[in-house]
Amino acid sequence: MRYFITFSYDGTCYHGWQVQPNAATVQERLNDALSKLLPTPTECVGAGRTDTGVHASKMVAHFDTEQSLDVEQFAFRLNRILPEDIAVDGVKQVDDDLHARFSAILRTYHYFVYTKKNPYRRHYAHRLTFVPNYELMNQAAALLLDAEDFTSFSKLNNDQKTNICDVQHARWVQIEEDYWRFEITANRFLRNMVRAVVGTLLEVGRGRMSIDEFRKVIAAQNRCSAGESVAANALFLVDVQY
C-alpha cells in the first residue's frame, strides 16, 4: 500500500531534502521516523529536492508498506518522533501508481524580500539594500511564461536530463510597504533555478539590466549570462499539485 505524507519544514539546519553522506537532511529524518514506526526499514520519495537552507510550507512524500495504517494516529506518532523543525500535516492512502515526484503536475515557490531592517524577518526573508522597481521586474518576469529552456538559471553541471520547464505563473506581489514576495509556479524546477531567476530579476529592478537584456539572458542558455543567486533562507516551497 502507498501513502502520501504532507508536511512542512524549516530548512535552516539541513543540507537540503535529499539524503547525502555525512550531512543532515530532511529526507533522512523522515526515513528514520518511518523506520521506527513500521515493521521494516522504510524510505520515502519526495515531490522534489530543495537545496541547503530552503524551507517548505507544503512538501509531499510517499512511502510503501504492507501494513494497514490508521492515518491520523500514524501522523500523530510521526510528529512525536520528528524534530521540532519538521511537522507532518497529514497522511493518506493513495493509489499504488501515484508517485510523489512523477505524478506532480505543478509546484509553487515563494521568495521573500524586504528593505527596512527587521530582526524578525531576517531568518526567512532576504534584506535588500535598495528599493527595486517591482513594475519593471514584473514585466521581465512575464517573459518567463514564454520561455522553454531555463539553462541560464540552472546550476552548472547539474544532473538533469533536460532544462525544459513550463512556467505558468511568475510575479512579484506586495505583502506590506517594504515586504514583497516573488511567486513562481511551474511543472518542474531545475537546481538553483528560482534563486537564479530572482537574482537576475533584481538586476532589472535596480536598473542594471534592461528587459530586453533579460530576454537575451533567457535566450543565451548560459548560466554565466544571468545574475547571481540570492540567499537560500528566503525561499519556500509552498504547494505541490497532483
Residue in the structure block whose three cell numbers are 508517485: 99
Q: Are 114 and 202 spatial neighbours (Cβ–Cβ below 8 Å)?
A: no
Residue 32 is predicted with a pLDDT of 98
Q: What is the structure's pLDDT at 20?
A: 93
- What are the phi and psi torsion angles at 214 (to 5°)? -65, -40
**Predicted TM-score (pTM) of this structure:** 0.96
pLDDT for the residue 160: 75
pLDDT of residue 232: 98
Positions of the chain with pLDDT under 70: 158
Active-site option among 51, 64, 70, 97: 51
Q: Give the C-alpha separation, 236 to 219, whole Å.
A: 27
**What's the pLDDT at 150?**
97
For 150-168, the pLDDT digits (tens) are 999 998 776 778 999 999 9
Do residues 226 and 200 lie in contact, with contact meaning Cβ atoms separated by under 8 Å?
yes
CA atoms within 13 A on the CB side of 192: 20
Say whether 171 sits in a helix, a strand or coil.
strand
pLDDT of amino acid 61: 98
212 part of the active site? no
Report all structural domains of the chain as residue ranges with CATH numbers, in order of start.
2-94 (3.30.70.580), 106-241 (3.30.70.660)
Q: How far apart are CA 101 and CA 237, in angstroms?
A: 14
Give the Cβ contact number of residue 158 at 10 Å: 14
Backbone angles phi, psi at 238, to 5 degrees: -115, -15
β-partners of residue 92 are: 4
Alpha-carbon gap, residue 5 to 28, rounded angstroms: 15
Dihedral sign, Cα of residue 209, residue 211, residue 213, residue 214: positive
**What confidence score (pLDDT) does residue 155 get?**
85
How far is CA 239 from each of CA 2, 109, 142, rounded to the nearest angstrom?
Answer: 21, 7, 21
Scan for cell 523522515, then name that residue.
Answer: 30
Determine whether 162 is exposed, middle or buried from the number of CB atoms within 10 Å of its CB (0-12, 13-18, 19+). Answer: exposed
